[in-house]
Amino acid sequence: MLQLVLTAPRSGGGKTTAVCALLAALAARGQRPCAFKAGPDYIDPMFHRAVLGVKSHNLDLYFSAPDTVRRLYAQGAADCDAAVCEGAMGYYDGLGGVTDTASAWQLADTLELPVLLVVRPKGASLTLAAELRGLLAFRTPHHIAGILLNDCSESLFKLLAPMLEKETGLPVVGYLPHLPEAAIESRHLGLKTAAEIADLQQKIEVLADAAQRCIDWHRLYTLFDRPAPPAPPRVTVTPAVRIAVAQDEAFCFTYAETLEALRESGAELCFFSPLRDAALPKQIGALYLPGGYPELYAAQLAANTPMRSAVQKAVAGGLPTVAECGGFLYLGRSLEGADGIVYPMAGVLPGQGFRVGRLVRFGYAKLTARTDSMLFAAGESLPVHEFHHWDTTANGEAFAAAKADGRQWVCGFANEHLYAGFPHLYWAGTPLPKRFADAASRYIKERT
């Protein structure tokens, strides 16, 4: 089975383009590939699933213990012919940018996978070999098994490949040419969603064709073939409770592993759209409002008065609810849209969401509960992640948050039926899914 971690010496090296090219080419070759993303990024896995039609999951060694990451990898790779794990930032860049914790290197080391290093040979030739030798010497084992040149002409590839192989000992498996016609647009939180990118399938076809032509596939398979991970036993649980999950363009940041963990805890997930539906799904015991882009759809969310009223009534009436980041903003009194206009929201919480114009409290943190609540016991801590350009006038005080660099703040709202705050929770491998499903079951029983 073809298995690899695809990473680069630094951000901007073209990892996402290379992953898309590889996955699309593998599918064109009759393979069943799957994808993984190192770190907390929602957008790349969502893109892999929507555009390339492949299973895609997050693997994060800050959120999860190594055994949990190995289990999630084995589950995600089951029934597949190839697995491509995309790194984040530079190869050794981890927590805080000054450690290798949760880096692509630590993921490769934990999963014992070989690494394909994507290198953009811009403005360097022999010096590039020196930089690569530094990467090889920095950690033992380094796990780097091959090089893929990106944004590189055929003539430059023919010049550089023999030199790089001689100077570094690493095989160069091919190149991807300069493909401006296949550029994938981004915005303030990363890639645009699939539906927003013009001529997307044509772009993917261009990438796949380039990978087919310019990669030595026999060499790639030889270098990165590994025994498939043992498939974990399938968990089959009869659904005991229905949980409504917001899922549309405004609320699209959900970890696949979180949804799977909720199902394994006995939940039937009922997806609905706060943008278009007039009411919550029927006979639900809980509500999950994930993050996304409510600021881009604030006018539509505000215009859907029946849904805002339904959410307000349900949450105020004690329906167990989790609202993360964008979902948290939706529960507030108002939200400034990307157009600068302030719109009414559900009005469950006191905050008024406003645009800051930069990332706010960005990155990993540790969240510690100050009181008992639906999901947490007082004093209990969980790793979380924040990623937003909007803030609110009322962040809450139910939790203490702390970064590795010593920064601290209070945030979040929590009680016996609510978690709401900017921090994104990672549910897989934690008690949260069962606690949420149990709260939903209690809610249903109390009303029957």
> Is residue 72 within 8 Å of 85, Cβ to Cβ?
no
Round to whole Å and give the CA distance between 278 and 21: 40
Please indicate whether residue 325 is annotated as part of the active site.
yes
Residues 6 or more apart whose Cβ sits within 8 Å of residue 263 = 237, 239, 269
Taking CA atoms, 105 is separated from 26, 91, 92, in Å, by: 24, 6, 5
> Is residue 224 within 8 Å of 2, Cβ to Cβ?
yes
Round to whole Å and give the CA distance between 375 and 33: 35
Provide the 3-class DSSP secondary structure of residue 178.
coil
Measured in whole angstroms, the distance separating CA 14 from the mean position of its chain's CA atoms is 17
> Is residue 294 within 8 Å of 390, Cβ to Cβ?
no
Helix or strand (DSSP H, E) at 3? strand 2-7
The strand pairing partners of 57, in sequence order, are 36
Catalytic residue among 214, 270, 325, 411: 325
Number of Cβ within a 10 Å radius of residue 297: 24
Catalytic sites, residue numbers:
325
